[in-house]
Amino acid sequence: MEDFEPRIIGFLCNWCSYAGADLAGTSRLKMPPNLVPIKVMCSSRVDPEMVTDAFLRGADGVLIAGCHPGDCHYDKGNYYARRRFAVLKKVVESLGLEADRLRLSWISASEGARFQQVVEEFTEKIRKMGPNPTGKETLL
């Protein structure tokens, strides 16, 4: 699997994680190019079916990133997001699918370096897991 380049979808909240990603960029931190960012207004905007959709369409990993607990721009969105994410992971796990391809991380607007680290770590983990078999499945 030498030439496998993971494709990771990242749902980044506008107020923290997207800004953190921006900071990583303007600080010229070196990062693997594997994450395709999608800006959402809050981590709680991410309906589990959006994550499921990305997963079933062959995304090798899906990241949801939002403000640290206590810092959500809308006060409590990320607490709700955490519950929904846990539920989705349980569903995926219960069905015997690879729950490790899903990740939830808190990254603030000032944490450019943490953004870099999360993307690096997650990309490496997914690289080890190999391509998501959903990408090659005809009867989804």
Rule CB under 6 A: is residue 12 a binding residue for ligand FES? Answer: no
Question: Residues in contact with other proteins, total (CB under 8 A)?
Answer: 43
SS3 per-residue string spanning 34-101: CEEEEEECCHHHCCHHHHHHHHHCCCCEEEEEECCCCCECCECHHHHHHHHHHHHHHHHHHCCCCHHH
Indicate which of ligand FES, other proteins, none lies near residue 88 (CB less than 5 to 8 Å, by partner kind).
other proteins
Paired residues of 39 in beta bridges: 12
Place of tokens 């079933």: 56
The CB-of-30 to other proteins minimum distance in angstroms stands at 21
- Assess 125 for contact with ligand FES (CB under 6 A): no
Q: Which two tokens stand for residue 22?
A: 């921006």
Query: 97 vs 109, which CB is nearer to other proteins?
Result: 97
Query: Given the rule CB under 8 A, which residues bind other proteins?
Result: 47-49, 52-53, 56-58, 69-70, 76, 79-80, 82-97, 103-106, 118, 121, 133-140
